[in-house]
């Protein structure tokens, strides 16, 4: 019955055309429009208003994708998916203006284009920016339950759909991207794990690492627009996208094509000037390595201090003052208020060790983790610089093929460095601000705590208190 209803829905849709599958209804394959907006079902899947109305009228209230039942009297009972509708509007408008036709086809591009800017060569900015979320790791099985693995949910921001991907599939796409774009820096995936791969801690760590990997790909102007990555994050049929992803040339031919197909600004290429420019980057990359290592070490020290040393320091001071108070209380003392005062100060330091340090500790850890994750990128920049310098040196022999390779690798290096610098500076600015803010708020809490203790001590009664007993001090 379900099949007949879906066929009837499909037959009732006039003028249907195959656009991007993520911007069209999964039932009628019509693209979402203002007069037929997408609506979110309770299960999270999306279909167009017309199809939802027809399903309700036919009393077949089951999600066509996950088969979960829903309850509604009319389509308007479900909310419109406005982010998806806005995306459909913008792409329809863009396509109409550029091609004179209606449609919502996302434009993905495997071309490698470098443009000139006031700061030098840069990658052509992405025409379509998006993000991806890695969530909900699930244990799956194959071969009739004989082999188990963990699959992660991958959801691109431009789609209401998600796909499931296992680690080996991330590894496959990593290799394909490396083959397609051999001089573009790729983040590293977590190491393969044989033992303990179903441990919760390992799954959580791998999910975080895969999320960082996807974040980098999505932010890269070239990698994010490649068809092979688009297939990876959108096509749910594993055999389909894996078959398409494997339709690649050999690595040597791909690299040859990569050099020859790259589009570089048609400005005059000054070999000597480029050689000088690349040599200047030798110092920059070396200094960047050293400064990042120092920041990595310093943030780790601060994290360790907030984790244990800070509390230990307060306890040491508190215990020393406590012993002094005990000493005065056991001997004749001209001023009996002194032991009590020392004891109260000891108590103030002891209570300092109970103040929460999670936020400032977390801020230092975030800084440490970020620079640790990005240090391998700097090493890759160093390797890329070596390739460009080698090709420039060879080009001095006036061999045309070497000259073209020198031109391409030099521009690729400069564009890649510009992208990494932009991303790094944008991220590090926010992270160091968060560290400073967390540090300030922590010391402010320390100040407020000490102020309250001082007020308690100073506002004690006018009567001179007697020294605390040994039992109290203990």
Which long-range contacts (C-beta less than 8 Å, at least 24 apart) are formed by 21-29? 21/234, 22/106, 22/156, 22/158, 22/159, 22/160, 22/161, 22/234, 23/84, 23/87, 23/88, 23/91, 23/104, 23/106, 23/158, 23/159, 24/104, 25/50, 25/51, 26/64, 26/65, 27/51, 27/64
Q: What is the pLDDT of residues 405-436, one digit of tens each?
A: 888 889 999 999 999 999 989 899 999 999 99
For position 474, what pLDDT does the model report?
43
Pair 174, 192: CB distance under 8 Å: no
**Superfamily of domain 121-261, CATH level 4:** Phox-like domain (3.30.1520.10)
DSSP symbol at 36: B
CA–CA distance, 325 with 322 (Å, rounded to integer): 5
Domain ranges of the chain: 2-99, 121-261, 271-458
Distance CA 159, CA 320 (A): 62
For the domain bounded by 2-99, which CATH number is listed?
A: 3.30.40.10
In this prediction, residue 74 carries a pLDDT of 83
Name the band, by pLDDT with cuts 50, 70 and 90, for residue 256: low
Q: What is the pLDDT of residue 187?
A: 87
pLDDT tier for residue 20 given thresholds of 50, 70 and 90 = low
CA angle 443, 449, 452 (to 5 degrees): 140
How high is the pLDDT of residue 227? 82
DSSP letter for each residue of 282-315: HHHHHHHHHHHHHHHHHHHHHHHIIIIIHHHHHH
- pLDDT tens digits along 46-74: 888 888 888 888 777 888 877 788 887 88
Mean pLDDT across the chain, nearest whole number?
78
The predicted model gives 313-318 an average pLDDT of 89
How many Å apart are CA 273 and CA 309, to the nearest integer? 52
Q: What is the C-alpha R_g of the chain? A: 31
Does the domain spanning 271-458 belong to CATH 1.20.1270.60? yes
The pLDDT value recorded for residue 202 is: 80
pTM of the model: 0.64
Question: Between these two residues, 463 and 352, which has the higher pLDDT value?
Answer: 352
What is the average pLDDT across 99-121? 63
Q: 3-state SS of 428-456? A: HHHHHHHHHHHHHHHHHHHHHHHHHHHHH
- The whole-number pLDDT of residue 32 equals 83
Q: What is the C-alpha to C-alpha distance for residues 292 and 286, in angstroms, rounded to an integer? A: 10
pLDDT, one tens digit per residue, over 284-301 is 999 999 999 999 999 999
């Amino acid at each position: 019955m379900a099949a007949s209803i879906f066929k009837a829905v499909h037959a009732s849709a006039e003028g249907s055309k195959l656009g991007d599958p993520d911007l069209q209804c999964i039932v009628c394959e019509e693209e979402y429009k203002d007069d037929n907006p997408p609506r979110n079902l309770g299960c999270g899947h999306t279909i167009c208003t017309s199809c939802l109305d027809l399903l309700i009228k036919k009393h077949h209230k089951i999600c066509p994708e996950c088969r979960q039942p829903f309850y509604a009297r009319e389509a308007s009972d479900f909310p419109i998916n406005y982010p998806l509708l806005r995306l459909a509007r913008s792409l329809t408008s863009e396509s109409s203006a550029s091609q004179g036709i209606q449609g919502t086809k996302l434009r993905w591009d495997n071309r490698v284009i470098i443009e000139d800017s006031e700061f030098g060569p840069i990658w052509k900015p992405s025409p379509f920016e998006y993000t991806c979320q890695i969530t909900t790791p699930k244990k799956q099985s194959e071969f009739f339950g004989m082999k188990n693995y963990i699959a992660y949910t991958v959801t691109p921001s431009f789609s209401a759909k998600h796909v499931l991907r296992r680690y080996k599939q991330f590894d496959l796409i990593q290799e394909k991207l490396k083959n397609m774009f051999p001089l573009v820096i790729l983040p590293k995936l977590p190491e393969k794990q044989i033992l303990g791969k179903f441990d919760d801690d390992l799954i959580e760590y791998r999910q975080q690492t895969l999320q960082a990997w996807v974040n980098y790909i999505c932010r890269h102007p070239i990698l994010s627009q490649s068809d092979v990555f688009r297939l990876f994050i959108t096509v749910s049929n594993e055999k389909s996208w894996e078959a398409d992803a494997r339709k690649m040339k050999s690595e040597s031919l791909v690299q040859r094509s990569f050099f020859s197909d790259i589009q570089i600004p048609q400005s005059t290429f000054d070999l000597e000037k480029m050689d000088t420019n690349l040599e200047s980057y030798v110092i920059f990359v070396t200094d960047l390595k050293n400064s990042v290592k120092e920041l990595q070490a310093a943030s780790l020290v601060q994290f360790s201090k907030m984790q244990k040393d800070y509390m230990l320091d307060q306890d040491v001071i508190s215990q020393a003052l406590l012993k002094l108070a005990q000493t005065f209380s056991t001997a004749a003392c001209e001023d009996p208020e002194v032991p009590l005062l020392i004891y109260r100060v000891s108590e103030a330091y002891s209570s300092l060790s109970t103040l929460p340090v999670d936020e400032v500790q977390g801020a230092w850890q975030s800084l440490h983790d970020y620079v640790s994750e990005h240090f391998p990128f700097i090493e890759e920049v160093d390797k890329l610089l070596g390739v460009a310098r080698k090709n420039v040196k060879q080009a001095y022999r006036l061999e045309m093929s070497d000259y073209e390779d020198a031109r391409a690798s030099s521009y690729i290096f400069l564009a890649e460095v510009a992208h990494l610098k932009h991303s790094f500076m944008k991220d590090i600015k926010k992270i160091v601000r968060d560290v400073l803010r967390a540090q300030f708020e922590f010391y402010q809490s320390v100040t407020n705590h000490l102020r309250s203790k001082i007020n308690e001590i100073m506002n004690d009664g006018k009567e001179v208190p007697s020294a605390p007993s040994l039992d109290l001090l203990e």
